A and B are shown apart, each in its own frame.
Chain A
Amino acid sequence: MKRLALFANQGATSSRLVGVLLLTLLTLAITFVLPPVADSQLASGAAISIVVLGLSWLIGWSGQISLGNSGFMAVGAYATGIWAHHHASSPIIFTFVLAMAVGAFSGLIIAIPSTRLRGPYLAGMTLAFSAAIAPLAQNYTSITGGEGGLFFNTLTTPHWFLNLFSGQNATIDANAQWTADLAVVVAGVTFFFMANLFHSHTGRAMRLVRDNDVAAELVGVNLPRTRTLAFVVAAAFAGLGGSLYALINATVTPSTFPLTLSITLLTLMVLGGIGTLSGAVIGGIIYAFSSNLVGHINSLTGINPTSNLGANMQGIIFGILLILTMLFTPRGIAGLGPRFGRLVANRRRVAPLATGE
C-alpha cells in the first residue's frame, strides 16, 4: 500500500535521542581529525545549522516566512556580548539560556503584529526588523560598543581538554577544537528538542495551520497563538545560533549579521531541504565549507578572488545551487535520499502516488 505519507508522529523520544546522539558523537569524532581551520569552520556551520533549523520549523512547519532571522541572531549575539562584560565567569549554559530567552522575546515582539500579516507583508515586516538592528547597534554606543562592536573572550578551553593535545600548536589546536566540539554539542541538543517538536502535538498544530487555517481553527487550533509560538521558537533558535556564532568569533559588531545573512539562511534551508533535521545539518555543512568551494572554483577558473567577480563568488554559487535544487530536487539535498528510495521502490511496484487512485 501507499506508505509515503506516514512518517510523522512515529518513533519514541528515546529513538530520537539515540539518533541525534549518534550523529553528534560522529561529528565530535570528525573534529579530532580535522585541522584547526576546518574545526573553526565546522563550529560556525554548527551555529548556523541551529538558525537554519529554526527557520525550517517556521517556514516548513508553520508556513510563515521570515527575513528577520539575522536580526534575531544579532539580538542573541549582543545579549551574549553584554552579559560577557558583566558576568565573564558564569557558566556558559547561562549565556545560552539568556540568548535564547532574549531571542524568543524579540520573536514575540515581532510575532504579535506579524500574525495578522501574510506572505509579502509578513516578509516585509521581518525584513524591516533585521534592517533596523545595525542602526540601533550603531546608535546605542554605550551598550553595544557602536561601530566597533563588543569583544569578549568567554570561550576558554578547560585544562583537561588542553591536556589532550601536545606538540607545537597544542593551544591553537585545542582552542579550535574545543570551540567546534562545544558548538556541535549545543547543536545536537537543539536538534533533539526540535525532533521532539516535529513529532509532537505542537508540531501537528503548526502543520494544520500551514495546510488549511480555517479547518485548523475548526479542530481547535488557536491561530494567533500557534503562529506566534512558531515565531518565538524560531527566534529562540536564531538567538542561540547568534550567541554561539559571536562566541566563536569572540566579537559582535553591527556588520556581523547583515541583512544578506537572512537571505543566505533561506538559501541554506532550501538547499538542505525545508522542514527536515537533515536539511538543517546539510545547510550548516554547506555554510561551513562554502569558502573552500569558492576558493577551489576561483583557483580552477583563475578568477582573482579580490576582483568584483571573485568577491561575489559565494553568492553566485549559492544562486546556481539554489536553481539546480529547485529544478531537480525541490525537497532539497535531504530529499534526494527518500527520492532515491522511491525510485527503487517504483521499480518493484507501479506508480504509487501518480494518479488519483
Chain B
Amino acid sequence: MSGGPSSEATAELVDVTVRFGGLLALDRISFDVQANEIVGLIGPNGAGKTTAFNVICGFQKPDSGTVRFPALGRTALKPSQLCAAGVARTLQGVGLFVNMSVLENVMAGAQGHVGRGFASSLFGLPAGRRHELALRDHAMVQLERLGIAQFASSLPGSIPYGISKKVSLARALMGNPSLLMLDEPASGLDESELDELAQLIVELRESMSVLLVEHNMDFVMPLVHRLVVLNFGEVIATGAPSTIRTNPDVLAAYLGVDP
C-alpha cells in the first residue's frame, strides 16, 4: 500500500508536502499507482488533487517528500521529460494547440520521443521526412481507434467539446505511455460519451496504469480498482470503491459535516 517501497509501482508519492505561503495544500501525502491499475484521486474542491498531479509531473516542486517512478526506473522528472519516460497527462479542460489541425495535435503527442536533430530539420533530410510520415500514420491510427478520424484536418476551435476531449486523449496515447494521468476526463461529456470513455479506460489498463482525478462519482466508482481520497491536503482514505463508499470520514468530507 501507500508509503512503502514498491518496485512494481509506476508512480509513487512518499510523504509529499506542498505549501503555498501559509496554506498547506498537501500535507505529507503518500500513495502509489501499480502497474495496470486504475486509481481514482477524488476529494472536494480545493482538496489538493491538481496540486498532487502537478507534483507528479514536475510542475510543482514539493517542499518535502519524494516522487518516484520505480517501474520506469526514474525519480523526479521535469515536465518535458515525462513523455520520453512514458508518462502522459491530459490537462483539465481541453488544452489543445488551437492553431494546429487535429491530426497535428495528435502527432505532437510523440514530440518528446524522437531523436531527429536540428540539422535534420534544417536540411530536410530524408530520415526526418520518413519519420514525419510514420508519425502521421501512427496519429491517424489513434484517431481511428477513437472514431474521430473524420476530424483529422479540422481546427480544435471548430469541433464539438466531446471530440476535443477525445483528441487530447489521442494525443496522450501517442507517446505509448506506461502511466496515463487524466485530469477530469469526464467533465462536460454526455451519457453515451461517458460510456465510451469508461470502456476505453478499461481497455487501456491492459497496457498501462491510469491515474485519474474525477468529480463524477457515478463515473469513477465502477471504473477504478482503488480510490485515494484527499481532503484539505491529507489522504483521508484509500481503498476499493466499495469500502470508500461507506467510509464515515469520506462521507463527512463530502457532505461537509466535518469541516
Contacts and interface: CB of A to CB of B under 8 A. Distances in A.
A3 B125 CA distance: 27
B24 interface: no
A3 B98 contact: no
Interface string B147-169: 00010111101111000000000
Interface in A208-235: 208, 210-212, 214-223, 229
Nearest to B152: A6
A196 B83 contact: no
Contact of B124 (A8, A16, A356): A16
Interface in A302-339: none
A219 B122 contact: no
A218 B83 contact: yes
Contact of A8 (B100, B122, B157, B158): B100
B114 A357 contact: no
Given A13-B129, A200-B128, A201-B132, 10 more contacts: A4-B155, A5-B153, A5-B155, A196-B122, A201-B131, A211-B99, A218-B83, A219-B109, A356-B157, A356-B159
Contacts of B89: 218
A220 B113 contact: yes
18 contacts: A2-B153, A2-B154, A5-B100, A9-B104, A9-B136, A13-B126, A13-B129, A197-B121, A197-B122, A199-B124, A201-B121, A207-B99, A211-B99, A214-B59, A215-B95, A218-B88, A218-B91, A220-B83
Q: Which 8 A-B pairs have the closest CB atoms?
A: A220-B112, A13-B124, A200-B121, A220-B83, A196-B124, A5-B101, A202-B121, A6-B153
B97 interface: yes
Given A5-B100, A197-B121, A197-B122, A217 B153 contact: no
Given A5-B100, A218-B89, A193 B122 contact: yes
Interface in A184-210: 193, 195-197, 199-205, 207-208, 210
Interface stretch (B33-41, B74-82, B226-234): B74-82
B107 interface: yes
Contact of A220 (B111, B152, B157): B111
A9 B107 contact: yes
A220 B81 contact: yes
A300 interface: no
Interface string A1-24: 111111011001100110000000
A353 interface: yes
Interface residues of B: mostly helix, strand, loop or mixed? helix
B108 interface: yes
A195 to B, nearest CB: 8
A196 B118 CA distance: 11
Nearest to B161: A356
Contacts of B136: 9
Nearest to B171: A219
Contacts, number: 137
Nearest to A224: B80
Interface residues of B, number: 54
A204 B149 CA distance: 21
A214 B81 CA distance: 13
A58 to B, nearest CB: 15
A229 B121 CA distance: 12
A202 B118 contact: yes
Nearest to B95: A215
Nearest to B136: A9
A128 B175 CA distance: 42
Contacts of B72: none
Contact of B158 (A3, A6, A196, A353): A353
A180 B82 CA distance: 50
B83 A204 contact: no
Nearest to A212: B97
A6 B143 CA distance: 15
Interface in A27-69: none
A212 B98 contact: yes
Contacts of A222: 80
Nearest to A196: B124
Nearest to A14: B124
A212 B104 contact: no
